[in-house]
Amino acid sequence: MITGQGAAAISDSVEADVRAGRLRPGDRLPPVRSLAGRLGVSATTVASAYRALRLRGLVTASGRRGTRVAAGPPIAAGGAPPPAPAARQFWVGNPDPDLLPDLGPILARLGGSKRLYGEAPNRPELLELAAAAFRADGITADHLAVVGGALDGLERCLGAHLRPGDRVLVEDPGYAAVFDLVAALGLEAAPVGLDDQGPLPADVARALRGRTAAVIFTPRAQNPFGSAYDPARMRDLRRLLAGHPDLLVIEDDHAGPVAGARALSVTRGRRRWAVVRSVSKSLGPDLRLAVMAGDPVTVSRVEGRQQIGAGWVSHVLQRTVVELWSDLATRRLLERADAEYARRREEVAGALRRVGFAAHARSGLNVWVPVPDEAAAVGRLAAAGWAVAAGERYRIASGPAIRISIGSLRSGEAEQMAAAMAAGARSPILTRSA
């Protein structure tokens, strides 16, 4: 039960309920006037408490739907329900462990050198390898930073330029953790729609007519939709963004060499920009490292803030990534992974299309399947032994869908899942092929 006589006490009470699991993501908070009457305080006091909770990313305001607990509040909450039991788990976007390099021999080669305070934060050989890869893809690499993964890079870039209340264009459907991050920073998410080539230019143009401080795009392996820029879409987006020279443009290139699409970027010639490349999908999620290219001001601010916080990314991680990037066997493994993920995506998408469902799977580790009813589709698959993710966490204004992650897919499973989807489905969503 929400208690308190002041705005701070009321907001602390809501946070405590979320932390204890008494309030769960999506739960609706009482209307302002109703809660004010029950607590014997002014409506202004409750409104101030709700505003503080919004700025901290704990709640969202959705017009007639009221104020609700955010899908991913930035606190450690207890009591979260476990995923639905199923024989096979396709709801987490993990890479296939069999397609990740074995770290044992690499770690054995690193030796026992010890890093101390006051030494250079980034290894020159890591920066050289990253710069060569960026430049090979036509991305300027004069200024680089090493950060603790893709989301760490995104957070540091946003923090370098934006303030609470600023508006950020995000893809819809999009990565749930990006939505949560934007909310946690007190920023306003402005959704733009997608097709298989990325953000829709008409949606971007419309959104840019409003007050906008930044955009976050995924150039390939978009999660969950799977879109990837093609040259025409890249040029269209560049033209639109050129009319907004002070806009911060961030690209999250999290899948890199296993994305299943060539690297393209809309950042060329921009004043404020960053491209963040993580190794989590290609080399392993436990290697919490990404390299960020960007303009000198953004990179300088990111590194400056890093120096008074984490300090640097572990040199054990940096040296491990250098060894892997320099290893011929690893490069061959990444090529095999790239081809295998492409085969699995098409296997799932093709099986679904044959039973009447649209499926978007141009790149990445996920297949996005529009459905009339998410809960029914998830339940039907779970009953047949397949756990997939409901699309609700990944969308703002876009329509219902499910996300099927293909990292652990085995031969023959796509047809079985498609048959389970079709069984009892009243109205599959028929569209043109992705």
pLDDT per residue over 376-394, tens digit each? 999 999 999 999 999 999 9
- Residue 377: give its domain's CATH number: 3.90.1150.10
CA atoms of 220 and 45, how far apart (whole Å): 45
Cβ atoms of residues 397 and 366 within 8 Å? no
Regarding whether 168 and 23 lie in a shared domain, the answer is no
Cβ atoms of residues 226 and 345 within 8 Å? yes
pLDDT the model gives residue 63:
63
CA atoms of 219 and 178, how far apart (whole Å): 15
Residue 305 lies in a domain: yes
What average pLDDT is seen over the chain?
A: 91
Residue 10 pLDDT exceeds 80: yes
Residue 45 lies in a domain: yes
Residue 293 lies in a domain: yes
Regarding whether 406 and 309 lie in a shared domain, the answer is no
Residue 261 DSSP code? S
Residue 98 pLDDT exceeds 80: yes
Regarding whether 338 and 319 lie in a shared domain, the answer is no
Domain stop point among 326, 358, 373: 326
Tell me the pLDDT band of 58, cut-offs 50, 70 and 90: confident
| Structure-block tokens of residue 433 | 């092929």
Q: Closest by alpha carbon to 67, among 38, 42, 32? A: 32
pLDDT the model gives residue 135:
98
Count helices and strands in the chain by DSSP H and E runs:
15, 16
Cβ atoms of residues 176 and 401 within 8 Å? no
Residue 82 lies in a domain: no
- Residue 220: give its domain's CATH number: 3.40.640.10
Regarding whether 318 and 279 lie in a shared domain, the answer is yes
Cβ atoms of residues 199 and 168 within 8 Å? no
Residue 115 lies in a domain: yes
Q: Closest by alpha carbon to 145, among 36, 281, 277? A: 277
Cis upstream peptide for 245 (omega within 30°): no
Antiparallel, parallel or unpaired: β 167-171 and 188-192: parallel
Residue 433 pLDDT exceeds 70: no
Residue 433 lies in a domain: no
User: Max CA-CA distance within the chain?
Assistant: 70
pLDDT the model gives residue 426:
57
pLDDT per residue over 128-186, tens digit each? 999 999 999 999 999 999 999 999 999 999 999 999 999 999 999 999 999 999 988 98
- Kindly report the backbone phi and psi dihedral angles of residue 4, in degrees, each rounded to the nearest multiple of 5, phi listed first: 125, 150
Tell me the pLDDT band of 427, cut-offs 50, 70 and 90: low
Domain stop point among 289, 306, 326: 326
pLDDT the model gives residue 430:
56
Cis upstream peptide for 224 (omega within 30°): yes
Residue 108 or residue 362, greater confidence? 362
Cis upstream peptide for 121 (omega within 30°): no
Regarding whether 143 and 275 lie in a shared domain, the answer is yes
Least confident of 24-38, 320-334, 356-370, 419-433: 419-433
Tell me the pLDDT band of 55, cut-offs 50, 70 and 90: confident
Antiparallel, parallel or unpaired: β 59-61 and 67-69: antiparallel
| Structure-block tokens of residue 296 | 């000198």
Residue 85 pLDDT exceeds 90: no
Residue 269 pLDDT exceeds 80: yes
Cβ atoms of residues 274 and 251 within 8 Å? yes
Residue 94 pLDDT exceeds 90: yes
Edge-to-edge order in the sheet of strand 273-278: 144-147, 290-294, 273-278, 248-253, 214-217, 167-171, 188-192
Cβ atoms of residues 161 and 298 within 8 Å? yes
Regarding whether 178 and 293 lie in a shared domain, the answer is yes
Regarding whether 344 and 260 lie in a shared domain, the answer is no
Percentage of the chain lying above the pLDDT 90 cut: 74
Which residues span the domain enclosing 356?
88-97+330-422
Tell me the pLDDT band of 352, cut-offs 50, 70 and 90: very high
List, in sequence order, every beta strand (DSSP E) within 306-411.
Answer: 366-370, 386-387, 389-390, 401-405
Q: Kindly state the helix (H) or strand (E) to which residue 352 belongs, with its residue range.
A: helix 328-354
Tell me the pLDDT band of 102, cut-offs 50, 70 and 90: very high
Angle at 201 between CA 196 and CA 207, to 5 degrees: 120
Least confident of 30-39, 133-142, 322-331, 401-410: 30-39
Residue 76 lies in a domain: no
Angle at 355 between CA 396 and CA 84, to 5 degrees: 55
Q: Alpha carbon of 169 to those of 155, 232, 326: distances in Å?
A: 14, 20, 36
List, in sequence order, every beta strand (DSSP E) within 123-179.
Answer: 144-147, 167-171
pLDDT the model gives residue 434:
41
| Structure-block tokens of residue 126 | 């890591």
Cβ atoms of residues 371 and 429 within 8 Å? yes
Regarding whether 141 and 39 lie in a shared domain, the answer is no
Regarding whether 313 and 335 lie in a shared domain, the answer is no
In 10 A of CB 79, how many CB atoms? 11
Regarding whether 23 and 156 lie in a shared domain, the answer is no
Please give the tally of structural domains in the chain: 3
Cβ atoms of residues 216 and 108 within 8 Å? no
Q: Alpha carbon of 172 to those of 138, 226, 400: distances in Å?
A: 27, 12, 11
Residue 431 lies in a domain: no
In 10 A of CB 65, how many CB atoms? 10
Regarding whether 228 and 115 lie in a shared domain, the answer is yes
Tell me the pLDDT band of 62, cut-offs 50, 70 and 90: low
Specify the pTM: 0.86
| Structure-block tokens of residue 263 | 């690297």
Tell me the pLDDT band of 71, cut-offs 50, 70 and 90: confident
pLDDT the model gives residue 75:
73
- Residue 57: give its domain's CATH number: 1.10.10.10
Q: Closest by alpha carbon to 93, among 357, 341, 415, 317? A: 341
pLDDT the model gives residue 114:
78
pLDDT the model gives residue 432:
43
Residue 84 pLDDT exceeds 60: no
Least confident of 34-38, 193-197, 291-295, 333-337: 34-38
Regarding whether 159 and 21 lie in a shared domain, the answer is no
Least confident of 10-24, 102-116, 210-224: 102-116
Domain stop point among 276, 300, 326: 326
